[in-house]
Structure 1
């Protein structure tokens, strides 16, 4: 028999070793989730601007940009809900039934456990609604329900970018509307600069609207639950409706939801507390 060695169809070089411990750096500054979301989105915008200073971006860059935008959205919700569990008794109680791997519980510091719970995805309307339902938001405001239609469409674009390198598959075409997208199956995602700007703006307005409604929901809920004689919580504190007395309890909520770095920034703690007091103390 011949001892002839058949060369490989594709030449393969040794795979380099990857030390993942060298691929991360710690972040010192702690910002509110909405501030961090705006900063992250603006960072993606700068990458887009530098990579395609003139003309429309390539399909590959379009996919990377959309992935970045949706990653910023997911990070916002994951950070917000995990931190909320630390300051809001009702949220902590609601998440108390959430399963957590024993290995994670043993390895993660207690202050980080709540964030460890949120490895779940937020990259679809179904998943986002499920996460909000977990903290008690079973019925969403009309404004958020309407905005979720646009968010859902962007999530389907993300799915194409992640799983098909930008090519539209039949399932996503069906979810986006087969009558209008059926002939585009197999086409690659290739947005203009204006299209990407519209996607970025839609996501920013969506996150801001969610931020406002979640804040009002959780802060007003404290009043409702404190006045509920059948509450499962034994409240050790109550709102006094005086800023000097309530500031210590109100400030953690304000700091979690307030936009400080963006323009326009949120109203002052004193002003926001005044609205909260006036709408609830009666």
Structure 2
């Protein structure tokens, strides 16, 4: 080799590579009838199966990647949930009508899933993205000192760590370290996600999803009982038909099958309980 190729003296020389067939990277998505919370559960359980204590002890790079996966599943819950709320809720539609959507989203999603396209430029990997999207697209505000505001703070902590994993090979950036209250360090701080930390983060994300699912369900039921009746024709002849999409959107079949639901009501029994609370009887 000639010394004129001095630039090859620092690392190996390689050839080229291209993506041969993008279709090989594509797979069938989740059934559209699957509720957002169950979609989250399915992904979470796959990640938990991978994240065993032995594997995480033996593979230090695995924990951070699994943490990113859990946050991604959490983000997807919010995208699915908010898109579906816009699809079925007149109050959310009125609120979302003020927002813009990229033409590319309309072209790709078409009329069937165009609501999901509204969130393509929204990051749910953080507190601000979630609270802003809820407020601006479905007219739902997270109240201070509420259950979900507390767990959102914890979620925000692990999202700051996610930033270092995704963008800096698990090294913590200065702005993220300041937000987390990490003392200054002369060297680089690398994140460690072992088995205990992975389980803790999974618990935080799950509590966030479960808590939001309940709070958003309560909000939608209130709208069905009160707000919708002021906006559209809702009465005893069609109220069950209009409530059914709400029930199906929020109901976890996973929790139902595993007997994890504390208050066991059928859809019709739930309707009657809501009507009593809002004095619709």
Matches of 2:247 and 2:69 in 1, distance apart? Answer: 27
For structure 2, list consecutive stretches of 5 or more residues without a partner in the other structure.
none
- 1:219–1:258 Cα change, 3 Å: same
Matches of 2:163 and 2:185 in 1, distance apart? Answer: 18
User: CA offsets per residue over residues 19-62 of structure 1, 9 Å max, x none?
Assistant: 2232112236230000110111111111112xx53663543111
The CA RMSD over aligned residues, in Å, is 2.4
Task: Provide the secondary structure at the position in 2 that maps to 1:27.
Answer: coil
Partner of 2:54: 53
Partner of 1:174: 178
Conservation of the 8 A alpha-carbon contact between 1:57 and 1:192: no
| Cα shift at 1:163 | 1.0
Conservation of the 8 A alpha-carbon contact between 1:154 and 1:199: yes
For structure 1, list consecutive stretches of 5 or more residues without a partner in the other structure.
none
TM-score by length of 1: 0.86
Matches of 1:276 and 1:201 in 2, distance apart? Answer: 30
Aligned match of 1:14 in 10, 16, 20?
16
**Is 2:153 aligned against 1:153?**
no
Aligned pairs for 1:213-224 within 5 A: 213-224=215-226
**Is 2:73 aligned against 1:75?**
no
Aligned pairs for 1:18-97 within 5 A: 18-27=20-29, 29-30=31-32, 31-49=34-52, 52-53=53-54, 56=57, 58-97=59-98
Conservation of the 8 A alpha-carbon contact between 1:169 and 1:185: no
Conservation of the 8 A alpha-carbon contact between 2:40 and 2:77: yes
TM-score by length of 2: 0.86
More moved, 39-48 vs 216-225: 216-225
Structure 1 segments, 4+ long, off by >6 Å, are: none
Partner of 1:270: 268
| Cα shift at 1:245 | 4.8
Conservation of the 8 A alpha-carbon contact between 1:62 and 1:196: yes
Partner of 2:234: 238
Conservation of the 8 A alpha-carbon contact between 2:131 and 2:142: no
| Cα shift at 1:268 | 2.7
Matches of 2:200 and 2:108 in 1, distance apart? Answer: 42
